[in-house]
Structures are given as C-alpha cells and as structure tokens.
Structure 1
C-alpha cells in the first residue's frame, strides 16, 4: 500500500515542510528531488512560465520507521526523460539503524503550448492570427508539442485542427512551394557560375524535396531540390 501526498508548486519553488516523522522526511526530500528533476527538464526543454503539481507515493510501511537522525540520501532511479510520466527515487537513511525505501512522484506540469484560436481547416498555412499560447498539462503527453508560435507560422495543417487542442509537429507539414505541371525557375550552380532557366515541375514539392523537372528549352528531365516558391536548384549540372 502507498500513501499519496499531493503538493502544488510554482516554478522554482522551495520545498521546506516541517519534518517530525520518517514519512515527513521522505516526503520532503522526495519533493525536493522531484522539483530538481522538473527544473532540469524545464531548462533542457527551454520552458518558460511553467508550474507543476506533485502526487507523491510513499510505502505505508514507513509508519513503522523511526525518524532518520542523519541527512537522507535520495537518488533518482528513473531517467530524466521519463519525468513527465513518473519519477522514482531511492531514499536511504544511512547508518547501522538506517533504512531504505522507494518513493515515486507523478507530476502534472503546466507549460504554455501553441493552440489554434479557432477551427483551422486542412491545408491551411498557419499565421500568427490563428495561433495562441495557452498553458496545458504536458505530463504523459506524446512528444512533438509545439511550444513557440514562431515554430508553427508558415507550416500547413495536414488535417482540420481544433481550437483549444495543442498542436503537434505530426499535424503540420511544410507548405507546397512547387506544384505539378506549373512553371518553375531552374537554378544551376557550377564552378562559381549561377545560371537560371525556365522549367516545369513534374510533381508537387515542399522545401528540401527532390523532384523531377523538365527543362522547357531542352525538354530534358532532371532532378532538383525545392528551394523556394517556384524555384528548384539542380542537384548536378545539366
């Protein structure tokens, strides 16, 4: 059986509860260690203006333990990458009369994420006007949540996006810059010389895509990399 303790903190909170029993000692040190893990994760992910709530799980058998007369030793037993799902800790009271227990923390971490302000239809290029930052519980969420509006601007929705729901990178793609059967400018670089010529795209392409294009003058089909709207750079000199 586990005892569950819930604590809520703003970012960078200092945790110093009164400690009169082994349970309170374990709780205090577990909260401190969990806070350090979340702060480390926030720095790694570059979160700003975040807050978190902790649910601490402590074995009920600690009621039989005497308070530790030495400083508790707390070591994480789960990787930092799992911190948004569950944090596990080994808590040790050193000495001959010491003891060892395991504690766990399940966090709720609220971080500003990018959401649509209203319904965004499929194949819509996102702008600052249809996006907002709003705090959301990212605990247990899949990777790929977008945290900055500028990271979503200019991308295209792969499907309809609902307001109030966090955007993920999997829902967005780069916009189509070159469309099939439309005229393009073919740019070729060779020995320090840049030349351009008219062509026709043989398929749609997004920035960085390699597509086939037909040189309008020679009718030759060549490969090129999509660079910009209507611009394709040849992979090798024609």
Structure 2
C-alpha cells in the first residue's frame, strides 16, 4: 500500500519565522551588552588613553628639571634663602603626542647663563615607533637677598664691607648680581655705582681665582662620590666661569668650573 505524505503548506515558513525571531532577540541582547560595555569603557566624554603623553606628568617633569637647574646655579653662584616661582606653558597639542618608551629628554634652547626669566626648553622623545619634539616656555621669578651699594661707589674705588648692604629683591630677567661679600670685597669698581644699586660683578674689575699656567686642584663629584687630581689652568678664570684645564696625570684637556682660589670642578 502506498502512502503519499504531504507536508502542511505553511509548515516551513512558520519554522523560519520562529528562527528569525529568536535570532533577532539574540542580536538585540548582544547590542545592549556591547552598548553597556562601551559606556563602562568610556564614561562621559572620551578620555585620553595610556598611549598618549600625560600633560600633568610632563608638567611635573619640567618642574623638576627647572628646580634642579636652580639648585645647581645656587651652588655655583652661592645663592642663599632663594625662592623661585616657576610658571610652565605647554602647547595644547601635547596631549595628542604618543607616549614615549624611554625617559623624555629636556634641553635648554636658549643662551641664558642663569635659569631666571623667560626660558626656552626643548622637550623630545628620542626613541620608540614615533619620535617627536616640542618647544616649551618656562617663566622663572627668583627672589633672594643680594648685595647693593650702601652709598655711592665711584669708579676705581676698591670695594670694602662698609660700602655694602643686603636687600631681598625679585628678578624676572637673567641679570648678574652678587650675593656674598667675598665675591666683591677687594675689587675695583670699573664704573660709578649709585646708592641702592645692585652690585653686579660686571661693574667690577675681574678677580681671577685661577690664573693661566698655575696648578689647580680638579674636583670631580657624582652620585655623592668625590675624587681629586691636579691640573694646569690653560686660561684665567673668575668665580663660576668655565675654563680649560689640562689633567697632569692623563694630559687630557677638560672644561671645568672655577669654584674657589686654585680649585675647579668638572662638568657632567
């Protein structure tokens, strides 16, 4: 006996409809989950990612570098009880720069002898998939006690302690000034210095602490360790100046900073 099986006419379409309905519900649920995940990942407005430079961290690094430069200058020029107001201006584009794989390098981009006034600093990333560099402006106002003329000092007058007084002033430009009496006492004034005027070493006859051809003590210090050796000065030098010195032992010529009578410190 033969049977002819005839499927219901609307069986397949109904089955397909149920499948599509189930898939649509699954897709809706996935969409909601992905949307919630997106909200959790980026709350509020789009936040910077770890792949970009952190402006706050860069600002802190610049602050630390300028503080270090001030500390070095204070030791070199014998500043005491100084205060510095440091204002750093970063370009707005800094937040779009890629993060650097190695420590960021900060270098002076001006010719100022002291870190006072408007300073130019070049900040650069020198390694990684994308190197970059940018220029920043740092403003430093330095307040400290300095020497001023107690009374008028005429030209060719030898400075003594009675002609000096101390006054706390704020400098917003790179300017030469003296802070310790021993820096100026015994030197001749090369110009007239008015009462209350800052005593600048540039107004005085140069006082050589090291003279060309004389033997000097070379002091090298780093990370708390110190070593000394003897050398021969190849040029005259005043307090804080850089001069060429020949190491007596190795005969190598180096650059060093005059720190005291017959003494120089190596530059690192």
Q: TM-score, normalised by structure 2?
A: 0.45
**Larger helix share, 1 or 2:** 2
Higher relative contact order, structure no. (Cα contacts within 8 Å, ≥ 6 residues apart)? 1
Q: TM-score, normalised by structure 1?
A: 0.49
**Larger strand share, 1 or 2:** 1
